Amino acid sequence: MSLSEPCFDVSHLAHVELLTNKPEESLDFFVNIMGLTESGREGESVYLRAWDDYEFHTLKLTASDQTGMRHVGYRASSQAALERRVAEIESLGTGIGWNDGDLGHGPAYQFLDPDNHVFEIYFETNKYVAPEGEKPALKNQAQRNHSRGVAVRRLDHLNLLAVDVDVIRDFIPKALGSRITEQIVLEDNTLAGCWFTVNNKSYDIAYTQDHTGTSGRFHHVTYAVDQREHVLQAADIFLENGVYIETGPHKHAVQQTFFLYVYEPAGNRIEVANAGARLILDPSWETVTWTAEERKKGQAWGLQTIKSFHTHGTPEVD
């Protein structure tokens, strides 16, 4: 394969493990407000899934004395592709090693990003098989949609904080074969934010600068809904249920996603979003670079980014 060819070794963002120090309330939030379904439990963890996630789970919610993210998982496009990635990551020197997998998937190779977030990649997965009572009316859908709460459709993307986003921009494409779709470059040429994708979604992971200088922190995880109107309904549901809305609904200038941010009970930031029909189909997409000046205009329709968006991450830093 020539060096100039795009890499398709990694298929998609697969799951996130979130830590909560309020496990009962967090679980209630994800099940009854976000509308996820529990697909399993093991140890301190509950496995959760949206109604059109095809795998066993996309969220592993783990009781802890901490908050934030314990690990993020990606699924490779084949066993051979997985092996190519592992070889590449080992050459980058940040590999941790193989584990035996989890309730939701087979053996996974773990590694660290340069900001000390734990990643894993695997190929063998445990596809969700809907039990009686969860079978959908249409057979091309993973699970019945109970229309409970926000009733999000599927995992969409993840946002992590990093002390040095420039180093991340170099690392992620090498580790995952990702493309950089958009980025924000400050006046001193450092990166304020960077958006990556391994597939046709316009991003599956984004990194933004951690102004506290703390590494390994989590910014938010996002579930997709089908329509912008569903994001508005989500806002109504969060309001009615006393969930703290940080900002939105509004439209990002970067990536044009229609968004809404809330905090789940333990303080982890959760996003509900809709990207419309936007896809990155171009195999030779050129990174869109936003300047600090351009970002000062605020979000697409003028809303200034709320201050806590730049400061709040989990675990929280004093």
Pick from 137, 150, 140, 317: nearest CA to 234: 150
Distance of alpha carbon 201 from alpha carbon 213, whole angstroms: 30
Give least dist CB 249 to a copy of itself, A.
Answer: 7
Give least dist CB 39 to a copy of itself, A.
Answer: 16
Which of 170/229 has CB closer to a copy of itself? 229
Give least dist CB 146 to a copy of itself, A.
Answer: 8
Which of 125/268 has CB closer to a copy of itself? 125
Pick from 313, 190, 191: nearest CA to 261: 313
- The CA-based diameter of the chain, rounded to the nearest angstrom, is 58
Find out whether 261 and 269 touch, Cβ atoms under 8 Å: yes
Tell me the two tokens of residue 313: 């991450």
Which of 97/276 has CB closer to a copy of itself? 276
Pick from 49, 207, 40: nearest CA to 119: 207
Give least dist CB 65 to a copy of itself, A.
Answer: 29
Distance of alpha carbon 90 from alpha carbon 99, whole angstroms: 15
Q: What is the DSSP secondary structure assignment for residue 215, as one 8-state letter?
A: S
Which of 41/297 has CB closer to a copy of itself? 297
Give least dist CB 10 to a copy of itself, A.
Answer: 9
Burial zone of 121 (CB within 10 Å; 0-12 exposed, 13-18 middle, 19+ buried): buried
Which of 1/188 has CB closer to a copy of itself? 1
User: Degrees (nearest 5) of the Cα angle 235, 254, 247?
Assistant: 25
Q: What is the DSSP secondary structure assignment for residue 314, as one 8-state letter?
A: B
Give least dist CB 190 to a copy of itself, A.
Answer: 20
How many CB atoms lie under 10 A from the CB of residue 11?
A: 17
Pick from 282, 229, 314: nearest CA to 6: 282
User: Degrees (nearest 5) of the Cα angle 185, 90, 207?
Assistant: 25
Distance of alpha carbon 155 from alpha carbon 39, whole angstroms: 15
Which of 138/189 has CB closer to a copy of itself? 138
Pick from 202, 210, 224: nearest CA to 155: 224
Give least dist CB 252 to a copy of itself, A.
Answer: 9
Which of 137/188 has CB closer to a copy of itself? 137
Which of 63/237 has CB closer to a copy of itself? 237
Give least dist CB 167 to a copy of itself, A.
Answer: 24
The letter for the amino acid at 182 is E
Which of 168/273 has CB closer to a copy of itself? 273
Distance of alpha carbon 27 from alpha carbon 48, whole angstroms: 9
Give least dist CB 225 to a copy of itself, A.
Answer: 7
